[in-house]
Structure 1
Amino acid sequence: METPWGPWEAAPLDEVIALMRGLAAPWWVAGGYAIELAVGHPYREQEDVDIARLRRDQLAVRRLLDGWDVHAAVVPRTLRPWAVDEVLPEPAHDIWVREHPDGPWRFQLMLDEADGKEWPYRRDPRIRRPLTELTVENDGFHRLAPEVQLLYKSKSRRPKDETDFEVVLPLLSDGQRRWLDEALATEHATHPWRERLRHDP
């Protein structure tokens, strides 16, 4: 996949997970893989690997990646190097990682917010969730809960986001459907997923 900042060649998910196991602070698989892991089998090609952790733990993960080429989107659609021991400003939440400057980007890091013991949704902090309910344990690591990942995906509604919604919808519990419906009601009152969350089997 080509980008204005160079090509992507996503690392295998298991390799990124093995790397992140060296991080003592909480982290979790996000993005399309979070949905695929919830479903339990591959159903579409995954173009990238997204790993998330809390903003307050950013220095721990940056030190883990000492020796990698790490860039942060401090200004939207602009990447710049992220130095070891630099605390990123609050707007920055998207980080790209590769082995060296001439190589392809290998995976993406996302900074999530925390307010005490709660996770506030960065696009609309009225939407909140206990940190203990943000992720699901999956074979020794954590993944973002599917209803939370769908909330992130609800804004763009790209074809792959629609596919992810279609595939995981039958697997959502009543409580997961209700949480996502209420979150969408707060941010996107007329979102078409709401009707399906309430009525599709």
Structure 2
Amino acid sequence: MTWDPAPLSEVVALFSAVRVPWWIAGGHAIELAVGRPVREHADVDVLVLRRDQLAVQEALRPWEWWAADPPGTLRPWRAGELLPEGVDDIWCRPAAAGPWRIQVMLDEAEGDEWVSRRNPAVRRAVTGLGDVSADGIPYLAPEVQLFAKARGTRPKDERDFAAALPVLGASRRQWLADALRTAFGEHPWLARL
């Protein structure tokens, strides 16, 4: 399956009319937080709350949407279909013959609180889930993105952690440390926070 990640400018243009919260996620979120490129990217991720998932179909109306259901297997996501918990990733492309351009990830929320898929004891106000770059791009707060990357870290996750660490203030570091302890008990990043 071929990827040709959409540039952030294209993603922002496509999602600009969406009237629900959305955030650039993954490695691009880390780069928006640190204000510089960190590494190459194989895809571009957008996070949307599960309750707002149909806004993705609205934003990408003429596109194809494929749900990872079960995880690791793609199937068409039908218009108006509500994806249940456990179906957390959607791959999107403008046409059947084209490469994948955007990956949308769905996360949980209860009322005004974001609830981690990794561990429902890790929560945060939806209004504090992200930041906005100087040029107006909403992105997942770096401590939240690092928490999502913390399970089974890969070399790129380690690079993202090292790049983001200098921009994490005390409260962000504390939130990440608390989330890591809650979800994993021990984690190698705790010694560096």
SS of the residue 2:110 aligns to: coil
Give the corresponding residue for 1:174.
Answer: 170
Deviates more, 1:24-33 or 1:60-69: 60-69
Query: Residue 7 of structure 2: which of 6, 12, 28 is its match?
Result: 12
**Preserved CA contact (<8 Å) 1:74 1:89:** no
Deviation at 1:24, TM superposition (A): 1.3
Cα distance in 1 for residues equivalent to 2:33 and 2:23: 13
Q: CA deviation at 1:156?
A: 2.2
Q: What amino acid sits opposite 1:149 in the alignment?
A: Q
TM value normalised by structure 1:
0.92
For residue 135 of structure 1, the aligned residue among 130, 137, 149 is 130
Query: CA separation in 2, counterparts of 1:184 and 1:50?
Result: 22
Partner of 2:59: 64
Q: Percent identity?
A: 54
- Which structure has more RCO (C-alpha within 8 Å, separation ≥ 6)? 2
Kindly report which structure 2 residues correspond to 1:28-67, keeping only aligned pairs within 5 A, or say none: 28-67=23-62
How far the C-alpha of 1:40 sits from its partner, in A, is: 0.2
Amino acid across the alignment from 1:40: G
In 2: Cα distance, 1:175 partner to 1:13 partner: 28
Question: Which of 150, 154, 171 in structure 1 is aligned with 2:150?
Answer: 154
Alignment match of 1:119 (pick from 114, 119, 125): 114
Per the alignment, residue 186 of structure 1 pairs with: 182
TM-score (norm 2): 0.96
Amino acid at match of 1:116: G
- Tell whether the 8 Å contact from 2:92 to 2:103 is kept in structure 1 after alignment: yes
Structure 2: where are the runs of 5+ without partners?
A: none
Cα RMSD (Å): 1.0
Q: Displacement, 1:64?
A: 2.3
Deviation of residue 53 (structure 1)?
Answer: 1.0
Letter matched to residue 26 of structure 1: P
**What amino acid maps onto 1:128 in structure 2?**
R
Instruction: Could you tell me which runs of 5 or more consecutive residues in structure 1 were left unpaired when the two chains were aligned.
Output: 1-5
State the partner residue of 1:85.
Answer: 80
